Structure 1
């Protein structure tokens, strides 16, 4: 990593932080009914590194959008403790047919933030919208378990032929292509949220772009949204379970660097922040320090569709093995993250034998500089080039910048003749460039949508919505298709198929270059309790948060 003139600045910052900590910043008690941040007991103050790209649930693809939707919207069920689905708009357990293909949900009396009732048609409308080809929803594929969903999404059938029907205002019937044992958990995901047809139609293209062009049925409403500055959520008085919601307001400020986060926490202006590596050792003994191991895996996308270099498998293997992952996890991150020699994360999904997926699978693309150099030499020979330049698309936040610079320095040092140019973009613009496949390499991350390895592996089927790099392998496609259909009732064989698919993706093809599985170090007001952290879907839930 290139050296920077941080030393003097850090010394001054640490000195000031020590002084502020001694004054009780970020955790003070003032006896006036205020929380540790010096704010009202009912207001939670947070930061986020990026603005919300979209509040339209069928178009959302990113963590920031899904986190906000999780607080302001509610589907049939929502994620509760231990990532178990708990009642949402659906009341009680669904009725499931003997063949597991027909699910019937009874809806409770619930309202939208404008007072309209939430009805079964709100789900029918939103799900059809997500699968209508003109919507171009990237996450449409997550609904392919619904009967006729794929055909509808491909324009081969009408949206009205989708296997979802409003029997009456309070009864929703869903038909599936195959029995899906985890369907109840699957519908907690953001793409399955309902939408009020009348309101969406009235807003047209403005829907989901501003606080007042979005309608809410969750614990909070988005009351204020100043783009690239802050957004404010307020308790939703129309929410069916409003009594369980203790917070009156959540204020979130857009902050792109940890330095500012720490200062805000120390001055008592925020209640919970993420810590980058340089602050972990300083705060790890703090009462409010904790870490969370997530299911998010970070990796390099390698665009095989438009880049001749990256079409070469030796070039991809050289890049994947050619940088020090441990240097990233132990130095840059220093928060419990682990190097990833896999795509399906550790401590995530268990197979029919009760063992973690990683026990059944292997380790792939481990850092091996000598092997990387052999592959690089073969790649240059095959390509007939001695000097190669590649561009790395990256986020514009502090940690991503450091990670990108580290990978650049490593690859340029270890792979002779390679130059890596970094292109940093704001979050929304970066996602757009990936969607348009207008990049060469990209630093990316993926978190689970539901508790099954498929949430990672089906990304890379040929033509998949999130296969934004042109990877295609017929054997891989068949394994994934079989695991989604014919093998659903043969769990051992299905597990074997998923293990084999990951091996093809990484060891055989090096379609992506895994980097690390993320843990996050947090610092919070010690009086803040009830925030749930999830391995699937949204990262956090604030419905049950409160200051004790």
Structure 2
């Protein structure tokens, strides 16, 4: 009933949704202008690539140029760098920066700007969840742990336009890492320290990419303006992108219907039915997994039998049927639609599923752990963001665990930013988690459960797991490396049950037919507005 009510609400509030004509509203609002307005989720995190970043930064990242990137065909694209070379042992990487690249205020972009971000991100007080992706660099981990000075970091600048990385050991996915925030530059002229506020002030938040920050109004919107000083400005058609914050998916869908926005992403699955057959509807595969973190430092979640029982007692097919058509069941940690490098298949297809659901076995395990038919099992609290999909998911999980294991779960809905902060602090028993790939390699998932990972929020400390993942880092044989990564996932998900995987998603997006050239970022599946324009 809840899903049907949502559909009715969209129709009532929009009024004209099923009768056409709405696609022209945003077009009329900005007729003749190369501007678009995008609806995004509530404000979370900052814009400093070295600081605590989350969803908001993902939108802002259109303003920055990485050293290199990969296009939708998997071909290397040079951005801030114009060339690079790597030594025979793949542990020294040298990048040559564009000499015609400047910040949006005209300041030259130099190697020091890249080092500035890395040095600041390696300070634990910065709170950057991506800091551990700097650990492949010589002394990166030691600096983060306070065991070495930042001056010993294996990144040097022989001159202003040359950047040299010396790695601890060969890293076969190093080029993929370069799209992460901690590898992007922050202007030394302004980016002094995390938390000083420079990143949300247009006067100091300069950018080296296609756009720069023109305005930021907390909890309402921010505006990116075309960077006329960008080295490739002629290829940028949009003059302005406005990102508006919304607290829920329903509001985003309504804003699209009323013409307030031109693009609305990650909408409820119900919208797929309403817009079926219409040009506005763009459904994309997301390289993401929605799952649950059980806190291993909380009893009885420290018992693998309990974690396994919780996993085996979830009926994921039923869950997805209840949550929406934009979800697909998964028992994997690595995203279902992540491609296997060098092959035309998906990575998860290269091995048997980590486990199979089995309610009878789940009951047996719970009894073996000391809770026959759920007797004496404590009431655990499940924290989740107060978004429709997550609320629906929480209700179904509560009902399934009660029916299948006779245990009660207390549901705790939180604002998205609160949920994010509490999870990072480890203040939870069960916590909803969603991970969209940051780069096109399974390591983006497997690294999160490493003992030293800055995203390891649930107390996983497994030396065997660490060793397998670390061995895969330097394995240059594709098939041998894939075997190691499958072995690591099996250990974490199919034996120790460190997470409770639920489903992967399709992204239901609405885009005005007049807005053309919107692409996808291959690593994440997210929409890319670099080449977007408004058709006349």
- TM-score normalised by the chain length of structure 2: 0.92
Is 1:97–2:87 an aligned residue pair?
A: yes
Q: How many residues align?
A: 533
TM-fit CA distance, 1:368? 2.9
Whole-angstrom CA distance in 1 between matches of 2:206 and 2:525:
19
- Alpha-carbon distance in structure 2 between the residues aligned to 1:546 and 1:39: 12
Aligned counterpart for 1:56 among listed residues 48, 51, 56: 48
**Counterparts in 2 of 1:228 and 1:40: CA distance versus 1, 3 Å:** farther
**Cα displacement string for residues 192-214 of structure 1 (whole angstroms, at most 9, x for unaligned residues):** 11111231228972233544452
Contact 2:322 2:392 in 1 (8 A): no
CA shift for structure 1 position 352: 6.3
Indicate the residue corresponding to 2:67 in structure 1.
76
Write out aligned runs for 1:133-152 (5 A): 133-152=124-143
| Residue in structure 1 matched with residue 249 of structure 2 by the alignment | 258
For residue 106 of structure 1, report the CA deviation from its aligned partner.
1.4
- Residue 22 of structure 2, aligned match among 25, 35, 41: 25
Report which stretch shifted further, 186-195 or 262-271.
Answer: 262-271
DSSP 3-state at the match of 1:113: coil
Equivalent residue in structure 1 for 2:319, among 315, 321, 328: 328
Write out aligned runs for 1:164-175 (5 A): 164-175=155-166
Partner of 2:413 in structure 1?
Answer: 424
Secondary structure of 1:404's aligned partner: helix
Deviation at 1:484, TM superposition (A): 1.9
Q: More displaced, 363-372 or 471-480?
A: 363-372
Q: Are the aligned partners of 2:126 and 2:194 in contact in 1 as well (CA < 8 Å)?
A: no
- Tell me, in whole angstroms, the C-alpha distance in 2 between the residues paired with 1:404 and 1:254: 24
- Superposed CA offset, 1:356-379 (max 9, x none): 322322213443333322223333
Residue 499 (structure 1) aligns with: 486
Is the CA contact (8 Å cut-off) linking 1:190 and 1:537 kept in structure 2? no
The 1-side partners of 2:496 and 2:196 are apart by: 41
Q: CA deviation at 1:439?
A: 0.5
Distance 1:390 1:73 in 2: 42
TM-superposed deviation, 1:283: 0.9
Per-residue deviation, 1:353: 6.7
C-alpha change, 1:263 and 1:489, in structure 2 (3 Å) is closer
What's the CA shift for 1:113?
Answer: 2.1
Deviations 1:398-418 (A, max 9, x none): 2222222222222223221x2
State the 1:515 CA deviation.
Answer: 0.5
Give 1:509 shift.
Answer: 0.7
Q: CA deviation at 1:381?
A: 3.5
CA contact (8 A) 1:42 1:546 kept: yes
Find the counterpart in structure 2 of residue 405 from structure 1: 395
Of residues 431, 437, 446 in structure 1, which corresponds to 2:435? 446
* Equivalence for 1:208: 199
Conservation of the 8 A alpha-carbon contact between 1:66 and 1:537: no
Residue 392 and residue 203 in structure 1: after superposition, are their counterparts in 2 closer, same or farther (change >3 A)? closer
1:527 Cα deviation from its structure 2 partner: 2.2
Q: 1:8 to 1:460 in 2, by over 3 A?
A: closer
Q: Does 1:300 align with 2:292?
A: yes
Any conservation in 2 of the 1:365–1:513 contact (CA below 8 Å)?
no
1:482–1:382 distance in 2 versus 1, CA, 3 Å: farther
* Cα displacement (A) at 1:47: 0.6
Q: TM-score, normalised to structure 1's length? A: 0.90
Check the 8 A contact 1:390/1:421 in 2, yes or no.
yes
| Matching residue of 1:465 | 454
Give a deviation string over 1:229-280, Cα, whole Å, max 9, x none: 2222111222221111111111122123333223222222221223312222
1:541 corresponding residue in structure 2: 528
Q: Aligned equivalents of 2:13 and 2:126: distance in 1?
A: 51
Q: Distance in 2 between matches of 1:218 and 1:204?
A: 23
Measured after TM superposition, the shift of residue 15 of structure 1 is 5.6
Q: Summarize deviations over 1:279-299 as a string: whole Å, max 9, x none.
A: 221211112212111111010
SS of 2:189's partner is helix
Stretches of structure 2 lacking an aligned partner (at least 5 in a row): none
- Give unmatched runs, 5+ long, in structure 1: 29-33
CA distance in 2, matches of 1:155, 1:16: 55
SS of match in other structure, 1:393 = strand
Among candidates 374, 377, 388, match of residue 364 of structure 2: 374
Give the match for residue 504 of structure 2: 517
Tell me, in whole angstroms, the C-alpha distance in 2 between the residues paired with 1:475 and 1:314.
19
| Residues 506/9 of structure 1: CA separation in 2 closer, same or farther (3 Å cut) | closer
1:404-462 CA-to-partner distances (Å, cap 9, x unmatched) read 2222222223221x221122222222221111101100111112122221111121122
Which among 314, 319, 332 is matched to residue 342 of structure 1?
332
What residue number does 1:285 align with? 277
- Tell me, yes or no, if the aligned pair for 2:47 and 2:53 is still in contact at 8 Å: no
Q: Which residue is equivalent to 1:478?
A: 467
Provide, for residues 142-178 of structure 1, a one-character-per-residue CA deviation record: whole Å limited to 9, x for no partner: 1122122222222222211111111111111222222
Residue 88 of structure 1: CA displacement?
1.3
